[in-house]
Amino acid sequence: MGCGTSAVATETQVKRVEEAEAMKAAVLIQRWYRRYMAHLEMRRRYTWNIFQSIEYAGEQDQLQLSSFFSFMLDNFTQLNGNGPDLISQLLDPVLDPWLGRETCFSCIPVPDSYTGPRLTFPLSVSDTNALLNAFKEQQTLHAKYLLQLLCETKKLLRQMPNIVHLSTSYTKDITICGDLHGRLDDLLLIFYKNGLPSAETPYVFNGDFVDRGKKSIEVVVLLFAYFLLYPDYMHLNRGNHEDHIMNLRYGFTKEVMQKYKTHGREILQLFQDVFSLLPLATVIDGKILIVHGGISDQTDLDFLNSVERHKVRGLVCFILRRRHCQLTHQDSAASCSSSSSSSSSSSTLCSPRSPSSLSPRPCPSSPSIHFTVNSLQVPFLDSLSSLSPPSPPQYEREWKQIVDILWSDPKNQDGCYPNTFRGGGCYFGPDVTQRLMLQHGLQLLIRSHECKQEGYELCHGGRVITIFSASNYYEEGSNRGAYIKMGKDLIPRFYQYQVGRGTRKLTLTQRVRVAESSALKALKEQLFTHRSELMAAFKEFDHNNTGCVSVSEWAQVLESVLRLDLPWRTLRPHLVRLTAEGAVEYESCFEDMGSGTQLAQVTPNLAETLFRYRTDIEIIFNIIDKDHSGLISIEEFRQTWRLFSAHLGVDINNQAIDDLARSIDFNKDGSIDFTEFLEAFRVVHKLDKYQHQSRMDSNTERL
């Protein structure tokens, strides 16, 4: 009996030991899992920060571009005396008389071979269904029907107020969608999950329909078609990407010209007109304000409702128009002061300045650049010479009101201050939100403009909602899309989704790894394009030319030069090597990157400038290229590049620019294919280049 009791006790002890061991194992696994998930979340967050910082830095480059155009206004006049120029096109493009006719599209023939939808106006449900099916099958709408659709949309938008007021008393729910950015799959998924636009399913789309994505035309055509079909139930707000310069930078212009080679210029011109006529805000039941970006401490909805919205075409255009007004007033004053000595001077009050009356502004940071007005004459504002400039204070107030609601972002800190990260609008705090709501009797602000990982985000105590409807915005699996449904109770209900079968098959770790890899590539490109500045800053700390600096010095240099506000110490293992002593080998930042096609005539200084400002230069060339053929003359190339280098203060002599221009005129016809030229100045990751070459070699061996 005693032995039996002892055996039972032993078994009990063994079980307790086993349970204790199991508990220890469970605790260890839990700790490991928590550390693993925390590390994964850290990677996810810094990946997100990289994407957003680079995106906003790109938008801030708009100011660099506007500064260049202002530089041109200050210094240079007519190019060859041949009509309107690139700045005139930005401010007040000369309208094609053909577009002014109500039936401008009727003379365009539609061939029998065209198998896409043939629209009839006014549109019917069968027309919108035909568009949906055609776009699902990768078909393109014929230019005739697109032009007619844009003309009809323009006519209807002219009748719309700046602020559209809706009521939930006539419908069950109102669906509110954020940025789509040319993601047709997201739009189709929203329609599939939520229903097509109709009297029973009204929608508000909150701007940024185009750019970045590859299907911007299809997205905006569907939105405009449903707007024409159901003008009382389909509502469209303007976003900051419904803007000519943004379209040049972020892809919509290129997409239009690639898909419509014959009538692309006319289509783009009509798109610009339509975008400028889009309403600025929507109010639901007098309580819910919907704007694309946000507000500021100067936002006044009553004043906003009275502005002439079509006159504010974009951020850059306003800056140029304001500068033009200043120059016009200066010229007028100068003409008036000389009228006592010349009776004919009064006739030049609104005329462009003659070359002899101008002297170029010196560029102090670039003393080695020598140029004269005659050798660098550039178009002036011929098409504006007959316009009486608007009152600057009134126009500036209108512009600021519109830019603030298109570009602003909320912040958790009280106050309102310039949004220097984006280069436009402002940051507004909870106090600014509360003040506006009290002033206008509002209870909620819905805005878009920022990509959110879950597709939406609440801030300011739940009074501000950000909604973003383009899933996989930065990279496959990077974020969900979402939309809001608002009923009579005015309580928002959120619906999330993510497009892509491949995304659903990936694990969380795989999604983070893919996004992280893409973000780090983009960040390394930023390092490469700022190589000279970074190297100069590193050498200030490396007094003995060892090629090494401390980790803290390395992080300090990167932040001071790039100004991306990133956790550089955390990112350091992905960007540089350390020595055995723990110092950073700073030149290793650039090891796994190189340039595209090498051009022998390009000096290192010129090459780096081309890498860094590649997008800006492409925009300028696209503006010069009026017929969007992809070709500009050698003389236009020389003069534009000399201006740009002078404005930037880059020490590049004229001979280097001339040699480069001649070398890239491959067929010696006096024209340059600037798209092919700029492709040579694209950052190439050496690993990608090696893998591509390996695949090419492998294919050659098979053959």
Q: Provide the annotated active-site residues.
A: 241
SS3 469: coil
State the SS3 of 244-290.
HHHHHHHCHHHHHHHHCCCCHHHHHHHHHHHHHHCCCEEEECCCEEE
Q: Which helix (H) or strand (E) holds 553?
A: helix 551-562
**Strand stretches in 280-408, DSSP E:** 281-284, 288-290
- Which residue in 206, 283, 162 sits closest to 449, CA to CA? 206
User: Between β-strands 444-447 and 416-418, what pairing exists: parallel, antiparallel or unpaired?
Assistant: unpaired
- Which residue in 170, 178, 187 sits closest to 284, CA to CA? 170
Give backbone dihedrals phi and psi of 497, rounded to 5 degrees, phi first: -165, 170
DSSP state of 586: G
- Range 299-305, long-range pairs (CB < 8 A, 24+ positions): 299/401, 299/404, 299/405, 299/436, 300/401, 301/163, 301/440, 303/397, 303/401, 304/162, 304/163, 304/280, 304/401, 304/402, 304/405, 305/161, 305/162, 305/163
Distance of CA 359 to CAs 73, 343, 376, 515, 653, Å? Answer: 12, 25, 11, 51, 20
Residue type, 144: K
> How many C-alpha atoms does 466 have within 13 Å on its Cβ side?
22
Residue with tokens 């507004």: 428
Tokens of 6: 């002892």
- Alpha carbon distance 100, 94 (integer Å): 11
Instruction: Give the bridge partners for 685, in sequence order.
Output: 593
Peptide linkage before 197 cis (omega within 30 of 0) = no
Asked if 571 and 45 touch (Cβ cutoff 8 Å), the reply is no
